[in-house]
Amino acid sequence: MQSLSAETVTASGQNLPQLAHPRNPGMALDLDWVASVQANTSAIERRCATLGGRRSVKKDYQAAWLLKAISLIDLTTLSGDDTKGRVQRLCAKARQPVRPDMLAALGMEGLTVGAVCVYHDMVETAVRALEGTHIPVAAVSTGFPAGLSPWHLRVQEIRESVAAGAREIDIVISRRHVLTQNWQALYDEMREMRAACGEAHVKAILATGELGTLRNVARASLICMMAGADFIKTSTGKEGVNATLPVSLTMIRAIRDYQDRTGYKVGYKPAGGISKAKDALLYLALMKDELGHPWLQPDLFRFGASSLLGDIERQLEHHLTGHYSAANRHAMG
């Protein structure tokens, strides 16, 4: 794995809103292309099983990659007991994700996370708490996490989240359309949700743990991109199986094929179950290998996580002091 320069990490930490690439407008549904998509499960699993042994970074290089990972986190709270106070503390952590003395020692003052992700009811609270920053608020929408509420309510929820100030909308697809191979219905649904988002960017959550096969994951990824998704995302974090490396490789290669065919870049967001710094390094290595440096920026790659940040902080303190600290030294708020 190549090292990252301090300049590269600092630029990503600023989270500037402008894109370095045109937004994916989508395209007409191409069912012949969808039908041709396959997934060699054994080859995908074999490739992922060897990743950790072939890609390793240590010392200063590891610290640089972990700082990069922080800049790509969608810091998330999606609990039934969320309160305004919890969201405000989360936003304070988003502004200052690592203790100031540590960032100063690493030469990384000003580093922030990629976004803050909350339920619709907490969008206004998060927007107010992040005033004066470039950190966007992402809202989970469309009947998250099951996506089974009435259709008109799902679309209206998107509009209300955008009106409340959300700059990114994480929507959930109807899994039944994938399981029954009803690609036209999935395309139409995604297209209408994309239109409801307006200027807000849309992340399509596939809930890959409920789609059955990697081939279904690949085809659903392609359909969502055809319908105009700005990002494709693995999971809600509420399924029994969330982000995995084989699922990620499948979705990443669908992104690469889509760019090769259309010229448009689509982002990727693994979410759920990524809680350790070493796991984040594997995902970064996979993105670097498969899609290259452009997909190591916040406009094309995000981690959906909360506890991941705490473990990265502990690793950075170990890098600076040679000692591991207790988790309570790196509080979430």
What local confidence, expressed as pLDDT, does residue 7 receive? Answer: 41
Is 170 catalytic? The answer is yes
pLDDT per residue over 153-182, tens digit each? 999 999 999 999 999 999 999 999 999 999
SS (H, E, C) the chain: CCCCCHHHHHHHHHCCCCCCCCCCCCCCCCHHHHHHCCCCHHHHHHHHHCHHHHCCCCHHHHHHHHHHHHHCEEEECCCCCCCHHHHHHHHHHHHCCCCHHHHHHHCCCCCCCCEEEEEHHHHHHHHHHCCCCCCCEEEECCCCCCCCCCHHHHHHHHHHHHHCCCCEEEEECCHHHHHCCCHHHHHHHHHHHHHHHCCCEEEEECCHHHCCCHHHHHHHHHHHHHCCCCEEECCCCCCCCCCCHHHHHHHHHHHHHHHHHHCCCCEEECECCCCCHHHHHHHHHHHHHHHCHHHHCCCCECEEECHHHHHHHHHHHHHHHCCCCCHHHCCCC
pLDDT tens string 238-272: 998 999 999 999 999 999 999 999 999 999 999 99
Check residue 56 and give its pLDDT: 74
Which one, of 205, 264, 196, 301, lies nearest residue 26 by Cα? 264
- pLDDT(42) > 80: yes
Q: Is 233 a catalytic residue?
A: yes
pTM, two decimals, is 0.92
Whether residue 269 lies in the annotated active site: yes
Residue 52, pLDDT > 90, answer: no
pLDDT at 6 over 70: no
Given the residues 170, 230, 279, 299, the one annotated as active site: 170
Q: Rounded mean pLDDT of the chain?
A: 92
- Residue 15 is predicted with a pLDDT of 43
Catalytic pick among 233, 265, 299, 311: 233
pLDDT mean over 80-109: 95
Catalytic residue among 269, 279, 299, 311: 269
Average pLDDT on 101-129 reads: 96
Task: Give tens-digit pLDDT for 278-320.
Answer: 999 999 999 999 999 999 999 999 999 889 999 999 999 999 9
Of all residues in the chain, what percent carry a pLDDT higher than 70? 92
State the average pLDDT over residues 217-221. 98
pLDDT for the residue numbered 329 = 72
